[in-house]
Amino acid sequence: MLIKVIGSEGSCDSCETTMENLKIAVAEMGLDAQIEKITDLVEIVKLGIMTAPAILIDDLVLFPGQVPSVKQIKKTLAKLV
């Protein structure tokens, strides 16, 4: 599974936190996932995403504009896999 974390360059505190929480959640769930970070504005627009931070799995946007907690991420990922 490829999980992308979307964050804009300027205010990336929030996407750092999202990234960390996601890593913890994935590790705790023992998922086999590759995590990639996208901060390039052009890339983000190309993906069609309008709110950062966000988590993208295939064509599914999770937590747009939010910094989800480890618990929230685990709950949502559990529904998906």
Partner 1 sequence: MWQFIQNQILGMKWLKDLVYRICEQLFGTTASGVGAYVAFFIYDMIKIFTLLCVLVYVISFIQSYFPPDRTKRLLGPLGGLKGRIAAALLGTLTPFCSCSSIPIFMGFVSAELPLGMCFSFLISSPMVDLGSLVLLTSVFGPSIAILYVILGLVIAVAGGSIIQTLQMEDQVADFIKLTDQQKSLRTLKMDLSDRLVYAWTQLAATISRVWVYILLGVAIGALIHNQVPAALVVKLLGKDSPFAVVLAALLGIPMYADIFGTIPVAEALLAKGAMTGVLLSFMMAVTTLSLPSVIMLSKVVKRKLLAVFIAICTLGILCTGYLFNFLQPLLYSL
CB of 1 to partner 1, least distance (A): 16
Could you give the CA distance from residue 45 to residue 29 in angstroms, rounded to a whole number?
A: 31
**Positions in 56-75 near partner 1 (CB under 8 A):** 56, 59-62, 64-68, 72
- x/- mask, partner 1, residues 8-27, rule CB under 8 A, reads x-xx--x-------------
The single residue among 29, 41, 78, 81 that binds partner 1, judged by CB under 8 A, is 41
